[in-house]
């Protein structure tokens, strides 16, 4: 809530952000437009339903704005460590979700209904069946059983 209070204090135009109930920090999605570039809400990362938008006039100004931060994900070791630790179906680092038919997509825990795409997505549509056939002929006494098995099918 301190970020929202900071944004209000600095006079950034606000859309949404109303409290829901009296207990806890439940708020609507909140959007601040063009906050001062030295404000807390502009300079620090916000984890919650808060979005900060700004406008720009030129491409050069957009690049300057994007680079005016102390944050960056250039530490690949950290990226991999944090991505591995997240209990989520997908992680994007410095990218948006780019569907790839070879990569499984879907939520985890109580989010989503399984996987789509990739081998994991295909396997969800398959019914597994094992067929075992004794290939020994009557009268074979060697005791070895030869079997043939077949995997999954649609």
Provide long-range contacts, Cβ within 8 A and 24+ apart, for 144-152: 152/123, 152/126, 152/127, 152/128
User: What residue ranges in 4-150 does DSSP mark as E strands?
Assistant: 14-16, 30-33, 50-53
Contacts of 91 (CB under 8 A, 6+ apart): 83
**Same domain membership, residue 48 and residue 109:** no
**Same domain membership, residue 77 and residue 48:** yes
**Same domain membership, residue 68 and residue 119:** no
Give the residues across from 15 on adjacent strands.
Answer: 31
Residue 96, pLDDT score: 65
**Pairwise CA distance, residues 16 & 39, whole Å:** 19
**Same domain membership, residue 10 and residue 35:** yes
Could you tell me if residue 122 is inside a domain? yes
Could you tell me if residue 26 is inside a domain? yes
**Pairwise CA distance, residues 77 & 84, whole Å:** 11
Q: Give the pair of three-digit tokens for residue 9.
A: 């204090």
Contacts of 24 (CB under 8 A, 6+ apart): none
With contact defined as beta carbons under 8 Å apart, do 38 and 54 qualify? no
**Same domain membership, residue 7 and residue 79:** yes
**Same domain membership, residue 102 and residue 81:** no
**What length does the chain have?**
154
**Same domain membership, residue 77 and residue 122:** no
Could you tell me if residue 43 is inside a domain? yes
User: What residue ranges in the chain does DSSP mark as E strands?
Assistant: 14-16, 30-33, 50-53
With contact defined as beta carbons under 8 Å apart, do 87 and 109 qualify? yes
Could you tell me if residue 52 is inside a domain? yes
Residue 57, pLDDT score: 93
- Report how far apart, in Å, the C-alpha atoms of 43 and of each of 30, 36, 40, 68, 78 are: 17, 9, 5, 9, 21
Could you tell me if residue 92 is inside a domain? no
pLDDT tens, the chain, 154 aa long: 777 777 777 777 777 766 666 777 677 788 888 888 888 888 887 777 888 888 999 988 887 887 777 766 567 787 788 788 877 777 777 776 666 767 777 766 777 677 777 787 777 778 877 777 777 777 666 555 555 555 555 5
Q: Whole domain around residue 68: which residue ranges?
A: 2-85
**Same domain membership, residue 64 and residue 23:** yes
**Same domain membership, residue 69 and residue 131:** no
Could you tell me if residue 93 is inside a domain? no
Could you tell me if residue 141 is inside a domain? no
């Amino acid at each position: 809530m301190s970020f929202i209070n900071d944004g209000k204090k600095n006079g950034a135009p606000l859309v949404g952000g109303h409290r829901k109930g009296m207990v806890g920090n439940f708020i609507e999605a909140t959007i601040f437009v063009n906050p001062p570039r030295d404000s807390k809400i502009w300079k620090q990362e916000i984890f919650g339903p808060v979005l900060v938008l700004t406008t720009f006039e030129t491409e050069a100004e957009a690049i300057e704005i994007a680079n005016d931060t102390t944050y960056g994900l250039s530490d690949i070791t950290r990226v991999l460590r944090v991505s591995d630790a997240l209990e989520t179906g997908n992680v994007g680092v410095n990218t948006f979700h780019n569907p790839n038919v070879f990569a499984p997509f879907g939520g985890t825990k109580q989010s989503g209904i399984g996987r789509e795409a990739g081998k994991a997505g295909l396997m969800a549509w398959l019914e597994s069946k094992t067929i075992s056939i004794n290939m020994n002929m009557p009268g074979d006494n060697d005791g070895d059983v030869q079997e043939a098995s077949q995997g999954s099918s649609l």
